[in-house]
């Protein structure tokens, strides 16, 4: 990963654009392309993104966990986005981990693996703890108190305007770390934690979904996107599928050890089975159902995101559609077709019915039957 990145405001093809200049790096380029919708400029030889008022904070929010220094090249953009804002500490490099912190983190990681924590949870907690312990580089771990956690929350998380979800994740990780490694109880409840915003899921119309799925002539690309929608899969679940997880005789897809380490099944329609058969006969995957360039290895998530992006371009859909939109659309369309909410919960693998109930807020079936009083005026 790169060590530093420079933000520069420029007029590009009569548009306000923000250029991100850094040494050639595939991982950094992927972050800019996938999370900032970045475009490559051959003339400038740099990535550029749309100008936003808080673009500096947005870039820092993406690159902070990698310890990347973020600089502003010109004062124009700095004056616009940094007025009355304390310069985030994420824009400057924190000291490296000291030897004590490094050993303690190894001990904590081993403990989480022995308790079979999910890979995502381990990565999230470890990344957050590295930032926290680098913040207190010159302080012995046993000397860190609950007051230090409050200071970190104010001077790092809030000062950098980091997300509520990141705040909760890092605080939960710190709490568990000190309980297990230091046998000391921290009290994160003393920190005010705002509620996560309740956002409605993004849903596509059936016509839009059909256009996206039919945009690719490549059967592999079509099969991947179609299966996500046809079974309401998460991206990670699709990429971990194996040929034996398809039970075509019973018209079932078996999803093994998904979120929360749960197995579940989802119905397979005859239409999607037909597409999968056509794909299988042509590609003959060895290990995973959808493999990348190297046989036996799963398809890359960033490549799959690029497949979706190409579909959107081909069918002229300008919405910022992500792969998860297909899962949301599947659930909403099931609800609109009259499927019981309890079955939708089982198919999606939700632990709580409250999670599934959010789709009732975006289903248009009942809303379309409501007559506005405006029509009677």
220 CB neighbour count, 10 Å cutoff = 16
List, by residue number, the catalytic residues: 234, 259, 324, 327, 350, 359
Helical (H) or strand (E) element with 19? strand 15-21
- Quick one: angle between helices 323-336 and 341-348, nearest 10? 160
- Quick one: angle between helices 219-231 and 301-314, nearest 10? 100
Q: Beta 69-72 vs 4-12: how paired, if at all?
A: parallel
Size of the chain in residues: 377
CB 182 within 8 A of CB 107: no
- Measure the N-to-C terminal CA separation of the chain; round to a whole number of Å: 62
Which of 114, 109, 105, 176 lies closest to 134, judged by CA?
105
Which of 340, 310, 314 lies closest to 323, judged by CA?
310
Q: Give me the DSSP letters along 229-287.
A: HHHT--HHHHHT--GGGEETTTTEEEEEEETTTEEEEEE--HHHHHHHHHHHHHH--SS
Please give the Cα distance from 220 to 280 (Å, whole number): 9
- Tokens read off for 234: 């998460």
Which of 281, 307, 285 lies closest to 294, judged by CA?
285
Please give the Cα distance from 293 to 299 (Å, whole number): 8
Please give the Cα distance from 81 to 74 (Å, whole number): 12
Which of 324, 334, 282 lies closest to 304, judged by CA?
324
- Tokens read off for 43: 């003339």
């Amino acid at each position: 990963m790169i060590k530093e990145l420079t933000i520069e405001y420029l007029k590009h093809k009569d548009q306000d654009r923000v250029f991100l200049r850094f040494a050639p790096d595939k991982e950094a380029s992927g972050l800019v392309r996938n999370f900032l919708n970045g475009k490559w400029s051959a003339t400038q030889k740099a990535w550029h993104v749309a100008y936003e008022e808080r673009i500096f904070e947005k870039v820092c929010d993406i690159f902070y966990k990698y310890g990347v220094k973020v600089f502003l090249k010109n004062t124009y953009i700095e004056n616009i986005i940094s007025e009355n804002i304390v310069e985030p500490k994420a824009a400057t490099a924190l000291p490296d981990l000291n030897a004590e912190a490094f050993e303690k983190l190894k001990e904590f990681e081993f403990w989480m693996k022995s308790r079979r924590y999910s890979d995502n949870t381990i990565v999230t907690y470890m990344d957050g703890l590295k930032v926290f312990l680098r913040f207190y580089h010159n302080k012995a771990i046993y000397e860190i108190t609950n007051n230090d956690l409050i200071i970190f929350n104010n001077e790092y998380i809030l000062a950098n305007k980091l997300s509520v979800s990141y705040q909760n994740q890092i605080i939960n990780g710190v709490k568990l770390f000190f309980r297990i490694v230091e046998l000391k109880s921290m009290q994160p409840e003393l920190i005010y934690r705002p509620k996560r915003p309740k956002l409605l899921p993004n849903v596509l119309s059936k016509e839009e979904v059909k256009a996206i799925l039919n945009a690719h002539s490549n059967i592999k690309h079509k099969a991947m996107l179609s299966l996500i929608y046809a079974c309401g899969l998460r991206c990670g679940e699709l990429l971990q599928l194996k040929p034996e997880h398809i039970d075509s005789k019973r018209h079932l897809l078996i999803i093994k050890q998904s979120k929360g380490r749960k197995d579940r099944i989802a119905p397979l329609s005859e239409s999607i089975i037909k597409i999968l058969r056509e794909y299988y006969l042509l590609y003959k995957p060895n290990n995973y159902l959808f493999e990348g360039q190297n046989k036996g290895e799963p398809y890359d998530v960033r490549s799959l995101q690029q497949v979706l992006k190409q579909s959107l371009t081909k069918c002229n859909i300008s919405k910022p559609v992500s792969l998860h939109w297909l899962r949301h659309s599947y659930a909403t369309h099931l609800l609109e077709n009259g499927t019981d909410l309890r079955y939708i919960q089982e198919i999606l693998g939700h632990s709580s019915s409250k999670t599934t109930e959010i789709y009732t807020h975006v289903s248009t079936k009942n809303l379309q039957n409501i007559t506005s009083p405006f029509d009677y005026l």
